[in-house]
Chains A and B, each alone.
Chain A
Amino acid sequence: DTGVSQDPRHKITKRGQNVTFRCDPISEHNRLYWYRQTLGQGPEFLTYFQNEAQLEKSRLLSDRFSAERPKGSFSTLEIQRTEQGDSAMYLCASSWSGAPNEQYFGPGTRLTVT
C-alpha cells in the first residue's frame, strides 16, 4: 500500500467557483479525517468518517463545505462558492478504529482562491 493519496495536489480557482477534492485512505483503514491548514498554523480538524458515517464535524465546516464517503473507501470534500479565505492546504488522514491515535496523513491539496 502506498499510503494516503490526495488529488489534486494543487488547485487554483476563482472566487465563487465550486471545487472538489478527493482522498484515498490506506485500504484497511476505516476512519478518514479532513483537516485544513493555513499558512503558519497547525492543521485544524474539519470532519471525520468511520466507514461511510460522518461522525463529527467542526464548526469550521460551514454550509458551503460538504464531505462524503459513500462507500466507506475514498472521500470527497466539496467547497461551494469559494471565498479567498478558503485558500489553504486541505489534509486528509486515515486510521484504523482499533488504533485511532495512529493517523496517517496524505500530502494535501493546496487550494488557492483568486
Chain B
Amino acid sequence: AQKVTQAQTEISVVEKEDVTLDCVYETRDTTYYLFWYKQPPSGELVFLIRRNSFDEQNEISGRYSWNFQKSTSSFNFTITASQVVDSAVYFCALRPASGGSYIPTFGRGTSLIVHP
C-alpha cells in the first residue's frame, strides 16, 4: 500500500518569503516516482516535477527547489521569494515504477496563500 502525507493543510506567507512544503511518503516498492503538482484556483493540475527513486539529487528550477531524502522518505518542495501567483494548492504524489500500474497516489494537498 502507498501513502502520501502532507501534514501542512494551509500555509500563509507574505510575498518574498521563502516557504517549504513538506511531503512524506510510504511505499513497499523499491522503485517509484515522486511528483509535485500545482492546482491554482482554476482547478487544473499543473505538473511541476518528477523524481525517480534512484535519483536523490536535489533539483532547482528558478525559484523552485526540491529536496528528496530517501532515508527519511521525504520529498520537500521549497519556493524561494514567494509571489502572489504562487498561491495555489500543491499536491505531492507517488506511484510505483514497476508492476504495470501508472496510477499515482496523491496527498491531501497544502494550500499556499501568498499575501502581497
Which residues of A does B touch, CB under 8 Å?
A: 31, 33, 40-45, 48, 56, 58, 89, 91, 93, 95, 100-108, 110
Contact residues in A for B50 (Cβ distance below 8 Å): 101-102
Q: Which of A42, A102, A107, A108 has the most CB of B within 10 A?
A: A42
Which residues of B does A touch, CB under 8 Å?
A: 4, 9, 33, 35, 37, 42-47, 50, 91, 93, 95, 101-104, 106-109
Q: Is the CB of A41 within 8 A of B102?
A: no
Contact residues in A for B43 (Cβ distance below 8 Å): 89, 91, 107-108, 110
- Residue contacts A-B, CB under 8 angstroms, 12 given: A41-B109, A42-B106, A43-B45, A43-B106, A44-B106, A58-B103, A93-B45, A101-B95, A102-B50, A105-B44, A105-B45, A107-B43
In angstroms, how far is the closest chain A Cβ from the Cβ of B23?
11
Q: Which of B45, B47, B109 has the most CB of A within 10 A?
A: B45
Contact residues in B for A102 (Cβ distance below 8 Å): 47, 50
Contact residues in A for B42 (Cβ distance below 8 Å): 107
Contact residues in A for B37 (Cβ distance below 8 Å): 105
Q: Is the CB of A42 within 8 A of B107?
A: yes
Q: Is the CB of B108 within 8 A of A48?
A: no
Q: A31 touches which one: B46, B93, B102 (CB < 8 A)?
A: B102
A3's nearest neighbour on chain B, judged by CB, is B44
A108's nearest neighbour on chain B, judged by CB, is B43
Contact residues in B for A107 (Cβ distance below 8 Å): 42-44
